[in-house]
Structure 1
Amino acid sequence: MTSLSLGVGIAFLVRLLLVLLFLPFSALDKILNFRGAVGQAKQAVHATGPAVVLILLGLCVEIGMSACILTGICDRAAAFVMAGYCGVTALLWKRFWAPGDFWTGGRGRELFWDFLKNIALAGGFLLITFGTGAATVEGFFADPLASSHPYAVAPR
């Protein structure tokens, strides 16, 4: 295996690991267990219609944005959307403060770790959005729909 193909393979694997939770697993779970997903969404919006809309939007985000991140097409904008999605889902469904049993080791403590995992995922997606250094941030604001060209190899 040449260093070119090794580099492309690693770049793809890193992106795959980041989106693997969403595509295929979370998206497939929403499809196969649609009623259960709607039931969970109803905990946040308390009505079936808006819950269905939330689940369908979630499916679109999880499938569409993950595909963009994997292919490198508008990947920075897609990663930005995924970071927001992770933050919103953390606030809506990982509300560790709601049960009031955080200090006694109850459900609140379990949700706390899920909340932090969502926030950490958001951070990973923001690395794709903005790059890994201060010098790369400006590129996103200059052209947010441009690709980060994740599979390009710089000439030696």
Structure 2
Amino acid sequence: MEKLNPVFDLVGRIFIALLFIPAGIGKINSYAGTQGYMESVGTPGILLPLVILVELGGGIAILLGWQTRIAAFLLAGFCLVSAVLFHYHPADQMQMTNFIKNIALAGGLLFLVANGAGAWSLDRWRSRV
């Protein structure tokens, strides 16, 4: 199994990035609608560029394994904040499923914070140079 660790690290990073990169692009493509939704739940729409930067930039960083611990830490915080602000509605089962998903995703990201990106990453490549 030890020989497969670099593969699992890379595939895990790809799977995590597949959530954040399209979400960031989607927010760019539907900027006004996303901003309106944020404001409808009491979150200032002016924060949308920061949200896009964290999702898109963090997702790309995770994918490449670049500054992985920092990106994962920021994305974990993002997941926790968005879980509370947008998904904590105990009477709505679907929203509570999204709430728990965000909490679980934050937990997975914290594994990246603790363990780094793995052997097949820019972080590892930079440490060898």
TM range (shorter): 0.7 to 0.9
Decide which of 56, 68, 77 is 1:75's aligned counterpart.
68
Q: Distance in 2 between matches of 1:27 and 1:73?
A: 18
Decide which of 13, 35, 57 is 2:32's aligned counterpart.
35
Q: Which residue of 1 aligns with 2:9?
A: 11
Decide which of 122, 126, 130 is 2:114's aligned counterpart.
130
SS at match of 1:45: coil
| Gapped regions of structure 2 (runs ≥ 5) | 125-129
| Gapped regions of structure 1 (runs ≥ 5) | 103-107, 132-147
Which structure has the larger Rg? 1
TM-score (ref. length: structure 2): 0.81
Q: Would you say 1:91 and 2:68 are equivalent positions?
A: no
Does the CA contact (< 8 Å) of 2:25 and 2:56 recur in 1? Answer: no
CA RMSD of aligned residues (A): 2.2
Over 3 Å counting, the alpha-carbon distance change for 1:149 and 1:110 in structure 2 is: closer
Aligned AA (2:37): Q
Q: Distance in 1 between matches of 2:28 and 2:93?
A: 29
From the two aligned structures, give the one with the greater helix fraction. Answer: 2
SS at match of 1:130: helix
Task: Give CA deviations for 1:96-115 in whole Å, capped at 9, x if unaligned.
Answer: 13xxxx2xxxxx11111010
Identity, in percent, stands at 32
Q: 1:43 offset after TM fit, Å? A: 2.0
Q: RCO higher in 1 or 2 (8 Å CA, sep ≥ 6)? A: 2
TM-score (ref. length: structure 1): 0.68
Over 3 Å counting, the alpha-carbon distance change for 1:149 and 1:91 in structure 2 is: closer
Decide which of 44, 47, 52 is 1:54's aligned counterpart.
47
Q: 1:79 offset after TM fit, Å? A: 0.3
Aligned length: 120
Q: Which residue of 2 aligns with 1:120?
A: 104
Q: 1:44 offset after TM fit, Å? A: 3.0
Aligned AA (1:32): N
Q: 1:149 offset after TM fit, Å? A: 5.1
Q: Distance in 2 between matches of 1:85 and 1:45?
A: 16
